[in-house]
């Protein structure tokens, strides 16, 4: 069993672009050698681009447990106390990014660890830049928009 067993033709994986994350996101595996080692070249493609990448820059999208029902109960309690939630990022803060409730995003933490994809559930007024609520274990703790990459499906 190889640590790269998840890399197979046709799989959709997350590519962590080493160029400051410029093109990071969901990509489909187009071509993979029969045996994969650290120096193997994997051809991946999205609707917008393709790249030849090392397997260490690819990661699978894990099975994600939904916390949406818990979020909706929490949101209802917050709204009863006067908190306002929004359906689009541009309603919560000044931005040129297009994010809406229902979008799927990949979260990258400050250490470069990738989680998701997660569904966007709501937006709130920014606190320390955090204003995007996603369907994650920490649904009550908003993410910063710059930590999120929209998954094109």
Query: Tens-of-pLDDT digits for all 153 residues of the chain?
Result: 567 888 989 888 888 888 877 777 788 899 999 999 889 999 999 877 889 999 988 887 655 578 999 999 999 999 999 999 999 999 999 998 999 999 999 888 888 777 878 999 999 999 999 999 999 989 999 999 999 988 865
pLDDT recorded at residue 112: 77
Which pLDDT does position 41 carry in this prediction?
Answer: 96
Q: What would the two tokens of residue 79 be?
A: 């709204």
35 within 8 A of 25, measured Cβ to Cβ: no
What pLDDT sits at residue 152?
67
The residue assigned the tokens 């917008």 is: 48
Cα distances from 139 to residues 92, 102, 136, in angstroms, run 17, 14, 5
d(CA 119, CA 135): 5
Measured between alpha carbons, how far is 145 from 50 in angstroms, rounded to an integer?
25
pLDDT the model gives residue 111: 83
Q: DSSP letters of 70-135?
A: HHHHHHHHHHHTT---BSBHHHHS--S---BTT-EEEEE-TTS-EEEEEEEEEEEEEETTEEEEES
């Amino acid at each position: 069993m190889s640590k790269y067993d998840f890399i197979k033709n046709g799989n959709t994986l997350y590519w962590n672009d080493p160029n400051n994350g410029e093109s990071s996101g969901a990509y489909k595996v187009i071509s993979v050698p029969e045996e994969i080692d650290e120096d193997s070249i994997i051809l991946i493609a999205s609707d917008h681009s393709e790249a030849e990448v090392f397997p260490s820059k690819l990661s699978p999208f894990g099975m994600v447990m939904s916390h949406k029902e818990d979020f909706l109960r929490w949101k209802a309690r917050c709204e009863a106390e006067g908190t306002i939630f929004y359906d689009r990022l541009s309603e919560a803060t000044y931005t040129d990014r297009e994010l809406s409730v229902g979008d799927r995003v990949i979260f990258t933490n400050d250490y470069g660890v990738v989680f998701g994809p997660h569904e966007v559930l709501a937006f709130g007024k920014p606190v320390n830049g955090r204003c995007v609520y996603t369907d994650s274990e920490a649904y009550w703790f908003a993410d910063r928009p710059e930590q999120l990459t929209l998954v094109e499906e």
